[in-house]
Amino acid sequence: MKEDAESMVEELNLIICGLSGQGIILTERLLVVALSQEGKNVLSADVPPWTHRNAITYCYIRTGEELYSPRIPEGGANLIVSFEPLVALQVAAIYGSRGTLVITNDYPIETRGLSRDGLRDMSGRLAHKYPTMEQILGYLKNLEITKVKTINGTDVSFQETGSARALNMVMLGAAYATKMIPVKQEILEEEIIQNTPPGTGEMNLRAFKAGMKL
């Protein structure tokens, strides 16, 4: 059943975050265009990584009547969607609050200085141990952020498309299912079909719809 945009949250302070190379900026652009087509007043800004691949990157997307800056103030996000669990913690520690809903993929990615065994990272350097999902949830709870949903987004992307490349669409679907994004489903779906890389529209749409069911 298609969702009526008028029944959704009108004031959205959304942060989409993860690691560079996960399709965060594409997801931002799709959503901003769809919101604009819906007639919403929308501001956005992205914060790209300054260092290397697999560095943290995120974007702000805001809708509402009186917006003066695309930047979301500290503690001001009402929805955080993270493509990587440790990034969810790092971003929520700054922008989250008691009322924030955090949706995070549960698949960890080892980066510089982190490894699952706590020995050496991907480049062979001595590393810290990557926290478990239980530890990450515990840290969020200590921050009084208790509205947290973890999903197996990477697994679903593989099931639907044969690779992890559609993770961003799975996560977008999960975010849309919260009814916090004030845009009609058909507008967003059309944007996915038309403005994802050539030849991937239907695949990305499948991933989006699968994410809505999580």
What is the structure's pLDDT at 110? 77
Domain encompassing residue 189: 5-212
What is the structure's pLDDT at 1? 42
What is the structure's pLDDT at 112? 63
What is the structure's pLDDT at 55? 81
What is the structure's pLDDT at 134? 96
Question: Which of 150, 116, 109, 149 is CA-nearest to residue 132?
Answer: 116
What is the structure's pLDDT at 66? 87
Number of domains in the chain: 1
CATH of the domain at 19: 3.40.920.10
For the chain, list residues with pLDDT below 70.
1-10, 49-54, 112-127
What is the structure's pLDDT at 49? 63
Token pair 């509402």 is at which residue? 64
pTM score of the predicted model: 0.91
